[in-house]
A and B are shown apart, each in its own frame.
Chain A
Amino acid sequence: MGVTVFWALAIPAVVSGTMVFRFDSMARATFSLLTSLLCVGGLVVLLGLDYLGIVIVLMMTIEMAIMAVFMVMYMMNPAGLMPMTMIHNKKGAAVLCGLVFALLAGGILFAPWPARKGRAPADPTMDLGMSLMGPQMLTMMTLGMALFATIVATVVLATRRGRYDRLGDDLRARHADDPVRGGVGR
């Protein structure tokens, strides 16, 4: 049963991962990537990590939906009506990726992997939670700080006009310098 599920998820994961870079349509590429990452989520569930697998499935579904919106916003060919390729240095990259795969596969096949040590806890999710709130607290806090820094950085990068553009470098301008007048009290 497990072996059948493994192959049923592994083959679509690799095939749809390859198709991401072969489709002309950006929207199709996005959903192909979604298929591949959903298969990864399924494989994580197969390995006994139910909670993390479901988190990956849910997160990737939302993430790819957002990505599809950005695709349509910024890409010239969202529907794939004209065939086109936007790639550079295909040969060099293919050689490099082949080498990396050969190196990693050699390591995987020839490394003396240690035998399985210990047994999985009855509830791995509980184990993860206790770990993140205990010995791995530093990891959790670092992730929290990184997420907070990302929130600030994305807002700074994505705003067209911030308060310094409107009210001057010392924020002391009497009237906001807006391209269009209006708003409350102005």
Chain B
Amino acid sequence: MSLELFLLLATALFCIGLFGALTQQSIVMLMMGIELMLGGVILAAAAAWHYIAPATADGQVLIVVAVTAMALEMAIGFAVVTALFRSREIDLTDMAAELKE
């Protein structure tokens, strides 16, 4: 095990999540992609804490920030889906394109 191995794994998770966030049309699936990207960020922060600077708590604080970002993203995402579904009965990103026209 080494820092590089953990970071490569984190990058793989981040890129899979990015692919999902870019391709998925369903808003909830898009949010799952973002969750996966943040999972990669958490893993990279943990690896950086363990392998570079274990004496300070900065890496741990970064994980706390990423976990909070995950929770906020989920909450706001579901609220937006609820609001969109209530007003337009849609659940796909391509249907919510009023601002485009």
Contact = CB atoms under 8 A, between A and B. Distances in A.
A2 B7 CA distance: 16
Interface residues of A, number: 78
Contacts of B49: 47, 49
Interface string A44-69: 10011100100110010001001100
B42 to A, nearest CB: 6
Interface in A147-162: 147, 150-151, 153-155, 157-158, 160
A118 B36 contact: no
Contact of B26 (A75, A105, A113, A117): A75
Interface string B1-18: 101111111011111111
B61 interface: yes
B99 interface: no
B16 A17 contact: yes
Given A44-B46, A119-B55, A96 B18 contact: yes
Contact of A157 (B23, B35, B80, B91): B80
Contacts of A56: 42, 67
B64 A128 contact: yes
B17 to A, nearest CB: 7
Contact of B51 (A49, A116, A146): A116
SS of B interface (majority) = helix
SS of A interface (majority) = helix
A100 interface: yes
A116 B52 contact: yes
Nearest to A37: B39
B78 A70 contact: yes
A88 B25 contact: yes
Nearest to A63: B74
A139 B22 contact: no
Contacts of B53: 117-118
B68 A147 contact: yes
Interface of A: 2-3, 6, 10, 13-14, 17-18, 20-21, 26, 29-30, 33, 36-37, 40, 43-44, 47-49, 52, 55-56, 59, 63, 66-67, 70-71, 74-76, 86-90, 92-94, 96-98, 100-101, 104-105, 108-109, 113-114, 116-121, 124, 127-128, 130-132, 136, 139, 143, 146-147, 150-151, 153-155, 157-158, 160
Given A18-B16, A118-B54, 5 more contacts: A20-B20, A52-B60, A87-B23, A139-B65, A154-B79
